[in-house]
C-alpha cells in the first residue's frame, strides 16, 4: 500500500506536491522516500523543496518523514560519502552494525518485521505512536539508521541480534519513522491516522 493510499484509507485526501508554493499550503506534510540519501536530498533541492520543507517544519505544522524521508531530517549522512541533510533533528545517518555483539554477522539490509520499543520515560505519549501496544510490529527495509545527537529525540528502537537500531525519532512537531507505516498493516494505519489527527 502506498503512502497516498494509506492516507486515503484513514479518511484524508492526499495531494502530491512538487513545488514549494503548493507545499506551503499544506496542513500536514509526509516526506516519504526510498533509495540513497544523496539522491533524495538532490531531488528535493532541484525543486526547491529542501527549503520549503525547512520552512514547513519551522511553522509548527505536523511533519512525518518515512524511511529515507526520516533520514533526510538529519544533519548529515555517511552513506556513499558525507552529505548534508535538512538539519531538522540534530544527528547523523550511519550504517547498521554488520554484526551483533557476539561478532556473528547478520544480513544487511535489514528486511522484515520488528517489534519497536519506546525510549522515553513516558513511552510514546503525545506522539502518533501512542496507540501502539506491546509486541506490535512494523515493517522495515534499510541499511542505515538515524543516530540522534540528543537522546530525547530517539522515540523508538528495535533490536537486531543485540544491535540497537533507531526506529523512530521525534522532536516538537516533527516525527520520523524508519519503518513503513503504509506497509505495517493495522498498526501502521493507526499511526498514520494519529498523525493526520494531530
Q: Which of 79, 142, 177, 182 is catalytic?
A: 182
Q: Which three cell numbers stand for residue 101?
A: 555483539
Point out the catalytic residue in the list 10, 67, 142, 177.
67
**Cell numbers placing 119:** 525510549
47 is an active site residue: no
State the Cα–Cα distance between residues 118 and 99, nearest whole angstrom: 23
Q: Say if residue 109 is preceded by a cis peptide, omega within 30 of 0.
A: yes
**Dihedral sign (CA 99, 163, 166, 149):** negative
Q: What is the DSSP letter of 17?
A: -
Global confidence as pTM: 0.95
* Average pLDDT over the chain, rounded to an integer: 95
What's the CATH fold of domain 3-197?
Rossmann fold (3.40.50)
Retrieve residue 89's grid coordinates. 533533528
Any catalytic annotation for residue 177? no
* Percentage with pLDDT > 70 across the chain: 99
Query: How many whole angstroms separate alpha carbon 120 and alpha carbon 155?
Result: 6
The three-state secondary structure class of 148 is strand
Q: Out of 10, 79, 180, 194, which one is annotated catalytic?
A: 180
pLDDT of residue 34: 82
Residue 196 has pLDDT above 60, yes or no: yes
pLDDT at residue 1 greater than cutoff 60: no
The domain segmentation of the chain, as residue ranges, is 3-197
Q: Which residues pair with 60 in a beta bridge?
A: none
Is 182 one of the catalytic residues? yes
Q: Are 188 and 138 in contact (CB under 8 A)?
A: yes
Place of cell 512494523: 138
| Residue 151, φ and ψ in degrees, nearest 5 | -55, -35
Amino acid at each position: 500500500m502506498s503512502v497516498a493510499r494509506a492516507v486515503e484509507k484513514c479518511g484524508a485526501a492526499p495531494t502530491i506536491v512538487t513545488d514549494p508554493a503548493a507545499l506551503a499550503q499544506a496542513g500536514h506534510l509526509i516526506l516519504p522516500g526510498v533509495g540513497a540519501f544523496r539522491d533524495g536530498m538532490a531531488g528535493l533541492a532541484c525543486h526547491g523543496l529542501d527549503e520549503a520543507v525547512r520552512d514547513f517544519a519551522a511553522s509548527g505544522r505536523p511533519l512525518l518523514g518515512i524511511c529515507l524521508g526520516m533520514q533526510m531530517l538529519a544533519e548529515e549522512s555517511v552513506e556513499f560519502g558525507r552529505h548534508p541533510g535538512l538539519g531538522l533533528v540534530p544527528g547523523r545517518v550511519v550504517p547498521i552494525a554488520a554484526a551483533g555483539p557476539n561478532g556473528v554477522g547478520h544480513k544487511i539490509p535489514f528486511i522484515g518485521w520488528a517489534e519497536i520499543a519506546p525510549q522515553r520515560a513516558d513511552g510514546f505519549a503525545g506522539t502518533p505512536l501512542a496507540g501502539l501496544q506491546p509486541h506490535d510490529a512494523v515493517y522495515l527495509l534499510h541499511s542505515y539508521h538515524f543516530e540522534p545527537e540528543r537522546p530525547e529525540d530517539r522515540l523508538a528502537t528495535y533490536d537486531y541480534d543485540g544491535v540497537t537500531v533507531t526506529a523512530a525519532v521525534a522532536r516538537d512537531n516533527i516525527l520520523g519513522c524508519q519503518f513503513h507505516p503504509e506497509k505495517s498493516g493495522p498498526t501502521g494505519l493507526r499511526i498514520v491516522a494519529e498523525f493526520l489527527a494531530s
